[in-house]
Amino acid sequence: MKRIKEILEKVYVNEDLRKSVVPLFIGNPGLGKTVFIEEFAKEKDVQLVELITSQMSPFEISGIAMPDKDTKKMSYFNFDKLENLKDGDILFFDELLNGNPIVLNACLTMLEQRKFISGKPLPNIMIVAAANPQGMTPLTPQIKERFLWYDVKFDKNLWIDYMVGKYGITTSIGNKLSNLITNETFSTNNFNTPRSVDKAVNMVIKNVPTPYKKEIDVILSELITNTTKEPITLKGRKTLKPNETIKWVDLIRYKNNIKVETPVTKPKRKAPPKKKVARKTKTKL
């Protein structure tokens, strides 16, 4: 994941590479590819024009030809989003490999010759793309060859650092959550991607029903011990005595003033008193 920023930086600052190279970062959903590219544009303080390829028509890329009554010729109209690009901006094709092949073919002139189909040249921009391998559209060699393909893998340590900063998880919890991600097979509807696990942790903490609760709740219930010699007061509602343990998820709930669910224990029913049965006595004759 860290290589994404390095690649973007080196392509962007080199005038020749910026005009000729289109990096394509391909990896599982939820790895943060889009976030890295968005953050890079913010750091450079330039406009990022994002085109979600799977939702586009070819005319939004190549433009469309319309008859002109006065000249009696066809005039080309470019997509306004692309007309607004300036030198130094970044054009970002997201979900590239889920787009219709017709849409991808419309990109060829723009990617290679850096101009619209109307002939108008593109500004001095950087073009970058991201994609998931799942549901990939069959591509022709000429489309594949327009990109430099970079495999993006899950960076366990980077993700754990992010989750520690966001939620204050322990390293042990981070490792267990990471195992869910690395073992994901994408065979069900709810995927254990970095993004979905992040959302699931947030939902479990806030007591919101989630399909991930069963596997996430067990991990977040790791016991935390007060190792200090003094009691710790949590938001005035709970006092943690020295050497007392508490579930990590409950600790975070107390800190964030979120309702902590306490297990309901039913009082034991007392057995009803046995009825005394009068003994029959035999009468001696």
Distance from C-alpha of 28 to C-alpha of 184, rounded to nearest angstrom: 10
- Residue found under tokens 């005035």: 236
Report pLDDT for 104. 81
Q: Tell me the average pLDDT across 115-120.
A: 76
Report pLDDT for 168. 94
Report pLDDT for 101. 79
**Domains of the chain in sequence order:** 2-151 (3.40.50.300), 156-255 (no CATH)
Tell me if 3 sits within 8 A of 158, measured CB to CB: no
Which is more confidently placed, 200 or 58? 200
Q: Tell me the average pLDDT across 12-26.
A: 93
Distance from C-alpha of 23 to C-alpha of 4, rounded to nearest angstrom: 9
Question: Residue 159 contacts by C-beta under 8 Å, 6 or more apart in sequence?
Answer: 174, 178, 181, 194
Please return the burial class of 25, using the count of CB atoms within 10 Å of its CB with bins 0-12, 13-18 and 19+.
Answer: buried
Which is more confidently placed, 78 or 211? 211
Report pLDDT for 114. 86
Place 39 in a pLDDT band, splitting at 50, 70 and 90.
very high
- pLDDT exceeds 50 at position 49: yes
Report pLDDT for 285. 42
Q: How far is CA 169 from CA 138, 218, 260, in A?
A: 41, 14, 18
Report pLDDT for 269. 67
Work out the mean pLDDT of the chain and round it to a whole number. 85
Which is more confidently placed, 116 or 80? 116
Helices 171-182 and 213-220: angle between axes, nearest 10 degrees: 150
Q: What is the pLDDT of residues 52-96, one digit of tens each?
A: 888 777 777 766 666 777 777 766 665 667 788 899 999 999 988
